[in-house]
Amino acid sequence: MRVEVTQEVVPVIRISGEVDFFDAPELQENIDELISKGNKYLLFDFSHADYIDSCGIEVLISTLRKLTKLGRLGFVSSNNDIIRLLELVGVSRYSTFSLFPSKTKALENFERIVGNERC
Amino acid sequence: MNAVKAECFKKQEYKFSASTGNLSGARKFAAKAAAGCNFTDQDIFDIKLAVGEAVANALEHGSPRGEANEISVRCHCHGDKFIVEVKDQGKFKKKLPLNDAEDVNFRGRGILIMLALMDKVSIDESKDGTTVYMQKKFRSEPE
């Protein structure tokens, strides 16, 4: 797994490779640091990831719980196996979770949310 | 309907020390064995994930002496089934079945994933360790 965090309209956590029992703690540390800085909107870019297990899923669920109802977690992936898994374990049922087919679509969505807050 | 034909092979085994660094290799071993049986890409992902969950559980709970312990993954075909056994040297912590995705922690969620993706999952505890048995049937595909 490789994690890169960049700041766009919201923090983007770009994950490459596989997220599993071995790698999940490092991902959790990155996310916790972003949340501790007051970020309530986060975008996980899984476009270049091809595997996630229950430990990676736990990072997503833990993040959704920490963000609370005021926040939003965007998730970019077009990998049907990963999308099927998110549905299976119930991540997709969280009202604060949004799945996007591309990073561009996700950032457009977050720009609208952040823009509305500023109005 | 065209049945997917299994190319049966002798039992293949991958043994490794209980190090988290070996988790990816164990998954790849199972995925390669499944790919050799003409499973679909979706089924191969399911087998890879289910084996990954079983091995992660073996690393976390089934290896009291850490890297001094050994884990084995064995795969073979039997009739219309692909069978995987993941054996460790410890005690299993969760009891089957689990059926509430909302309330389980990540390891319980791992077992839930195994149950959902494989056709049969059973766990055998003995004096010298725990073995997780998983089966997946070869599916018929529409023409």
pLDDT given at position B127 = 86
Q: For B21, which residue in chain A has the nearest alpha carbon? A: A22
Residue with the two structure tokens 């870019």: A45
pLDDT given at position B93 = 60
Percent of chain B with pLDDT over 70: 79
Name which residue leads in pLDDT, A60 or B9: A60
Over its C-alpha atoms, chain B yields an Rg (Å, rounded) of: 15
Chain A residue numbers with beta carbons less than 8 Å from the beta carbon of B93 are none
Question: How far away is chain A from the Cα of B113, in angstroms, using its nearest Cα?
Answer: 8
A21 touches chain B (CB under 8 A): yes
* CA gap B63, B66 in Å, rounded: 5
A64 touches chain B (CB under 8 A): no
Question: How far away is chain A from the Cα of B130, in angstroms, using its nearest Cα?
Answer: 19
A17 touches chain B (CB under 8 A): no
How many helices (H) and strands (E) chain B has is answered by 3, 7
Strands (E), B5-95: 12-17, 70-78, 81-87
A25 touches chain B (CB under 8 A): no
Chain A residue numbers with beta carbons less than 8 Å from the beta carbon of B59 are 21
Q: What is the pTM of this model?
A: 0.88
- Which of B20, B45, B107 is closest, CB to CB, to A22? B20
* CA gap A94, A107 in Å, rounded: 19
pLDDT given at position B36 = 85
A90 touches chain B (CB under 8 A): yes
Q: Contact A54/B53, CB-based, under 8 Å?
A: yes
pLDDT 10s digits, B30-57: 999 999 887 999 999 999 999 999 999 9
pLDDT class of B103 with cuts at 50, 70, 90: very low
pLDDT tops 50 at residue A28: yes
